[in-house]
Structure 1
Amino acid sequence: MQKLLAAVAAALLPLAAYAQPPLPEPPAHSAPPASRPLKLTSWNLEFLATRNGVGCQPRVDADYEAMRRIVDSLDADVIAFQEAESVEAAQRVFDPARYVVIMEARAGSPSGTCGGEHKTQTVIRQAVGFAIKKDIPFDRHADVTSLMLGNEQLRSGIDITLRPTGARPVRLLGVHLKSGCFADATAKACPTLFQQLPALEAWIDAAATGPDRFAVLGDWNRRLGLGGDAIWTEIDDAEPANSDLRLADAGIGPGCDPRYTSFIDHIVLDRRAGQDMLAFSETRYAAGEKHYSDHCPVSVTLAR
Structure 2
Amino acid sequence: MNRIATALALTLTLAACTEPHTGPRPVTPAASPLKVASWNLEFLAEKDGVGCQPRTEADYRAMRRIADDLDADVIAFQEAENPAAAARVFDPSRYNIVMETREGSPSGTCGGENKTQTVFRQAVGFAIKKNIPFDRHAGVTSLMLGNAQLRSGIDITLRPSGRAPLRLLGIHLKSGCFSGSEAKACPTLQQQVPALEAWIDAAAADPDRFIVLGDWNRRLGLAGDSVWAEIDDGEPANADLRLADEGISPKCDPRYDSFIDHIVFDKRAGADMLAFSETLYPPDTKHYSDHCPVSVTLGG
Higher relative contact order (CA 8 A, sep 6+): 1
Q: The residue matched to 1:69 in structure 2 has which SS?
A: helix
2-side partners of 1:281 and 1:140: how far apart? 27
Which residue pairs with 1:261 in the alignment? 257
CA displacement 1:152-172 (0-9 Å, x = unmatched): 000000000000001111000
Which residue pairs with 2:21 in the alignment? none
Which residue pairs with 1:13 in the alignment? none
Deviating more after overlay: 224-233 vs 285-294: 285-294
The answer on 1:297 being equivalent to 2:296 is no
Contact 2:31 2:163 in 1 (8 A): no
Q: The residue matched to 2:64 in structure 1 has which SS?
A: helix
1:270 shift after superposition: 0.3
Which residue pairs with 1:241 in the alignment? 237
Which residue pairs with 1:28 in the alignment? none
Which residue pairs with 1:164 in the alignment? 160
1-side partners of 2:100 and 2:263: how far apart? 19
Supply the RMSD in Å over aligned alpha carbons. 0.9
Find runs of 4+ consecutive structure 1 residues off by over 2 angstroms. none
The answer on 1:211 being equivalent to 2:207 is yes
2-side partners of 1:247 and 1:193: how far apart? 19
* AA at the equivalent of 2:276: F
Which residue pairs with 1:57 in the alignment? 53
Q: The residue matched to 1:93 in structure 2 has which SS?
A: coil
2-side partners of 1:256 and 1:289: how far apart? 12
Which residue pairs with 2:6 in the alignment? none
Query: Which of 92, 96, 103 is matched with 2:99 structurally?
Result: 103
Specify every segment of 5 or more residues in structure 1 that has no aligned partner in the other structure, as ranges.
Answer: 1-32
Q: The residue matched to 1:253 in structure 2 has which SS?
A: coil
Percent of residue pairs bearing the same amino acid type:
78
Give the count of matched residue pairs: 272
Mapping for residues 26-175 of structure 1, pairs under 5 Å: 35-175=31-171
* AA at the equivalent of 1:214: F
Contact 1:170 1:214 in 2 (8 A): yes
Which residue pairs with 2:198 in the alignment? 202
* AA at the equivalent of 2:219: R
CA displacement 1:276-296 (0-9 Å, x = unmatched): 000000000122111100000
Q: The residue matched to 2:181 in structure 1 has which SS?
A: coil
Q: TM-score, normalization: structure 1? A: 0.89
1:208 shift after superposition: 0.1
CA displacement 1:179-237 (0-9 Å, x = unmatched): 00000000000000000011100000000001110000000000000000000000000
Which residue pairs with 2:228 in the alignment? 232
* AA at the equivalent of 2:242: R
CA displacement 1:115-164 (0-9 Å, x = unmatched): 11101000011000000000000000000000000000000000000000
2-side partners of 1:120 and 1:161: how far apart? 41
1:259 shift after superposition: 1.2
2-side partners of 1:245 and 1:73: how far apart? 29
1-side partners of 2:166 and 2:297: how far apart? 12
Contact 1:34 1:165 in 2 (8 A): no
1:35 shift after superposition: 3.7
1-side partners of 2:185 and 2:148: how far apart? 16
* AA at the equivalent of 1:48: L
1:63 shift after superposition: 0.5
1-side partners of 2:32 and 2:112: how far apart? 43
Contact 1:34 1:167 in 2 (8 A): no
Query: Which of 285, 288, 300 is matched with 2:281 structurally?
Result: 285
Query: Larger C-alpha radius of gyration, 1 or 2?
Result: 2
2-side partners of 1:213 and 1:282: how far apart? 23
1-side partners of 2:299 and 2:206: how far apart? 19
1:34 shift after superposition: 5.6
2-side partners of 1:140 and 1:230: how far apart? 31
